Amino acid sequence: MSAARRARNPARSNQPAAATPLSDDLLTENGPADVTERAFGSANRNRLLDQYFATRGPIKPGEAWEHAYRLLLWIDRTIGLAHCYESDKCQPGRHWYPRSLAFHGWLAERLGSTPATLKDDVDWLFRNVTAGLDALVLAASKSTMVQKQRAPYAGQGFPEPGEDPKLLAIVHDALQEWLPAKLPDSVERSLVERIQTHINQENKRKNLIGEGFEDTLAAILRRIPGLAKRYDIRTRQVLHEIPGFNPVRKGQKERKVDLVLIRKPDGRRTLVTAKWSVRADREEQFTADFRDYSRAENRSEDFDYILVTNEFDPARLKRACEVRVENALMLTSVVHVQPQGPLVAYQDAVHHKNWSAPHVYKHIQTGRLTSLEGWITNLTA
């Protein structure tokens, strides 16, 4: 890579070292599911985030989106491209496939990578959460507790964990020309368990783009010069523990706010809902949460209500920018990790009058839909 290209991509020129492998401390007597939960849990996520940022200095606002993408954005394995929209709609031949190609190429260039090697420059958090996890899961499936649970049924022909005859048949059918003999039963079980673990790990990704997105945003904000001194930054904060909000009524479920920033000089409160993507049920939840926050507020003071997202669907972004409560815009600001990404994807339809993309383009132009860089810059102003 040229020096000029590295200069345009400072995050690329200082790649983090590989994370410390998962510790055997994750092993418990509670079986493989508990090991997986602990690997994807908050403590391990934040351990890895600390390691990712350990070799880096203070973060500039313009670098925030790069770190978010390097940590969380992943490759959709069904198409081999950076994930930007729902997988079934991005398959070859569908409208979002060329848009995914455009985004993938643009992102590779911006991160100083190539279309072929981008997979190695993103998804850092997931790759390091799962590195070595399959071995720990296999070990946990043979723990003393598991053996004790199976003991009363010993010798009765009960299936072993991981037995999947259909999956084995697929493997044998694909590899029969290269396998000189049938694999031993123990090897077959180990193979199936590793495949199943791999699939289950992918299904756990939602943890990383849920709470992991909140943790990543907080980790970035705390490393912006001056921001941590100016704001108290909290994740998954119970609403009534935020200054100026009442406890919920008895019998009601406690509300937690994804990310909270409290400005230290004057106590100004910013309540952030951090959603990597915005589904229909989440859109409804935004309004319900805002009404609950407003009812619980006891200072008669304004608070900021912010959405931070990486949603690419133009209709959802348009609605987020325009949703109103009592004839006023509900969200103080709508923040996209990197709004240039959707614009690259929309380039084939940004002027199409019957699509929402032109509206999103206008919201970006007016600043209603801002970038992570723009939001952070305003916070530090």
pLDDT recorded at residue 350? 55
For 8-38, the pLDDT digits (tens) are 454 444 455 566 555 445 545 556 667 777 8
pLDDT recorded at residue 160? 77
Pair 132, 192 in one domain: yes
Annotate 58-82 with b (16+ C-beta within 10 A) or e (fewer): ebbbebbbbbbbbbbbbbbeebebb
Pair 57, 28 in one domain: yes
Q: Does residue 322 sit within a domain?
A: yes
Triad 107, 122, 61: Cα angle to 5°: 70
- Count of structural domains within the chain: 2
Pair 24, 137 in one domain: yes
Q: What are phi and psi of 234, to 5 degrees?
A: -130, 145
Tell me whether strands 256-263 and 81-82 are parallel, antiparallel or unpaired. Answer: unpaired
Triad 375, 380, 381: Cα angle to 5°: 95
Q: Does residue 246 sit within a domain?
A: yes
Q: Does residue 79 sit within a domain?
A: no
Q: Which domain holds residue 346?
A: 229-380
Q: Does residue 116 sit within a domain?
A: no
For 160-200, the pLDDT digits (tens) are 777 788 888 888 888 888 888 888 888 888 888 888 878 87
Predicted TM-score of the model (pTM): 0.85
Pair 185, 313 in one domain: no
Pair 192, 50 in one domain: yes
Pair 16, 70 in one domain: yes
Pair 50, 185 in one domain: yes
Domain stops at, among 202, 225, 248: 225
Pair 332, 304 in one domain: yes
Domain stops at, among 199, 225, 251: 225
Residue 309: burial class (beta carbons within 10 Å; 0-12, 13-18, 19+): buried
Pair 199, 238 in one domain: no
pLDDT recorded at residue 24? 47
d(CA 155, CA 141): 18
pLDDT recorded at residue 351? 57
Pair 45, 171 in one domain: yes
The CATH number of the domain holding residue 308 is: 3.40.50.10010
Q: Distance between alpha carbon 125 and the CA centroid of its chain, in Å?
A: 9
pLDDT recorded at residue 26? 53
User: 179's torsion region: left (phi>0), alpha (psi -120 to 50) or beta?
Assistant: beta
Q: What are phi and psi of 121, to 5 degrees?
A: -110, 0
Q: Does residue 85 sit within a domain?
A: no
- The structure tokens listed for 92 are 């070859």
Pair 139, 214 in one domain: yes
Read off the amino acid at residue 249: R
Q: Which residues of the chain register pLDDT less than 50?
A: 1-8, 10-14, 23-24, 27
* Cα 348 to Cα 47, 88, 102, 360, 366, distances in angstroms: 42, 20, 10, 14, 21
Pair 238, 336 in one domain: yes
Q: Does residue 133 sit within a domain?
A: yes
